[in-house]
Amino acid sequence: MDSCTTNYAVAQASDAAAVVRDETITSVMDVQAGCRWLAELPIPPFQQHRILRGGHLQTLIGARMGHTDHVGDAVHRCHSIELADGDTLVAHDDEPQNWTPAKGSVLLLHGICGCHSAGYMVRFQRRLNEHGIRTFRLDMRGCGDSAPLCRSITHAGRSEDVLAAIEFIARLVDDVSSPIGALGVSLGANQLLLAAGRVGSGKHTAPVGWDRVGPLLAIAPPMDLQLCSDAMESAKLRFYNWYFIKHLLRRASAPLRERDDYQAMLRLPKPKTLRQFDRQFTAPLAGFDNERDYYRASSAVSVAADIAVPTLIVTSADDPLVPVRSFTTLADRLAQRTQQGTAPKAAGLHHGAVRVHISAAGGHHGFMQRDRTGWTDELVSDFYGSAFASSPARSLTAASDVG
């Protein structure tokens, strides 16, 4: 405890309407001195568009922001990542001109309806490439270019797939001084946090290259799946249920459609809510007993306090899909562990390294600003530009930095 600097400041944020407009609600820290750059990283408040205000409008416009075509002068390659069960992921590798391993790489993970070509994935790729950082946009199981290569589906609990991708990057960029960051949006953010938390708690074996990993950035993660499912039952979110179910059924890969169990599921009445979809499709296809078992096992909130890699979690209080309560619950858990001195210890980390930043507005990864730019676009480039410039990955967890 003596060698650690802890800063914990949280406002009661269960009611988004009670916060000051366009201001940060809370920025929670549970960090040690070795990650001081994370504690001191300035995060400017989100100034939402004057007309496109409110969680729903921000969410909807955010889904339409950005280009879906690859742009820039980076060298583009595709890599296949073979998984233990026979499925294959596809990683889209964009290497900037004059890139060197010291400049680092970032793994990008998409949301439930996304893939490598989602607008935000391409925007983040461009931003990072402009800063000289190499990016790997991953197509998770059944998504994008991985669709014809997978009989299984992606879901919130696929932490082992994230670790497989990280190990692939570490082996491809075989340089111990080359940092590996990872960024997830929505479902991909939960997968990322779950992976880091499971490694931190010992539930997963750290993959090759894990000592080079950091920092992590999770945007709008549905960390408490049961809480999110409860919220989605509201009649006000009927459109979102319809949209997700329509997309997920349409996206089913050819190998998945060939499965007898999937065909049997299609013969049942069509689900009307995401909870019904998870009960009928997600849980049984992924090997869970039911949707409650899936939610319990796959929620990152259960292990997020065990993360021992510098991590920034960003969300908004008016996100219509992810209740802010799951983040204030995590903040309380981080504070309790810090006070008790039971936060994870690993490679010089005497306490966890998680910062939770809750904006008063922004919707579900909408964040369109008054100048019509994306707030998270700037955050992503500033975050990794600062992290990789301050120290390579190995020094982020070096004992010599503590104290």
Given a cut of 70, whether residue 400 has pLDDT beyond it is: no
What span, in angstroms and rounded, lies between the C-alpha atoms of 375 and 236? 26
Beta-bridge mates of residue 354: 30, 311
Q: CA–CA separation, 275 vs 233, rounded Å? A: 8
* Confidence class for position 337, pLDDT limits 50, 70, 90: low
d(CA 361, CA 257): 40
- Note every long-range contact of 335-342, with CB atoms under 8 Å and residues 24 or more positions apart, other chains counting: 335/8, 335/10, 335/28, 335/30, 337/30, 337/305, 338/6, 338/8, 338/30, 341/1
User: Got the DSSP string for 251-306?
Assistant: H--HHHHT-HHHHHHHTSPPPSSHHHHIIIIIHHHHT-SSHHHHHHHH-GGGTGGG
Distance CA 215, CA 202 (A): 19
Per-residue pLDDT, averaged over 198-208, amounts to: 96
**Higher pLDDT, residue 69 or 106:** 106
Beta bridge partners of 26: 358
pLDDT of amino acid 5: 26
- Identify the burial level of 16 via C-beta atoms within 10 angstroms of its C-beta, where 0-12 means exposed, 13-18 middle and 19 or more buried: middle
Pairing outcome for strands 24-30 and 354-359:
antiparallel
Encode pLDDT of 150-170 as tens digits: 999 999 999 999 999 999 999
| Residue 54 scores a pLDDT above 90 | no
Q: Which of residues 339 and 181 earns the better pLDDT score? A: 181
Percent of the chain, pLDDT > 70?
82
User: Which residues have a catalytic role annotated?
Assistant: 186, 319, 364
Greater confidence (56 vs 318) lies with 318
Comma-separated ranges of CATH 3.40.50.1820 domains in the chain: 16-224+299-393
What pLDDT is recorded for position 327? Answer: 87
Q: What is the mean pLDDT of residues 253-258?
A: 97
**Beta strand pairing call for 134-139 and 213-219:** unpaired
- Domain 16-224+299-393 architecture: 3-Layer(aba) Sandwich (3.40)
What's the CA gap between 284 and 294, in Å, rounded? 9
Query: Per mean pLDDT, which range of 109-113, 176-180, 315-319, 338-342 is the poorest?
Result: 338-342
Per-residue confidence at 16, pLDDT binned at 50, 70, 90? Answer: very low
Highest mean pLDDT, choosing among 28-32, 34-38, 106-110, 398-402: 106-110
Does an H or E element contain 248, and which?
helix 238-251
Q: Is the pLDDT of residue 21 over 60?
A: no
DSSP state of 197: H
Question: Which pLDDT value is given to residue 71?
Answer: 58
Of 60 and 133, the one with more pLDDT: 133
d(CA 138, CA 251): 16
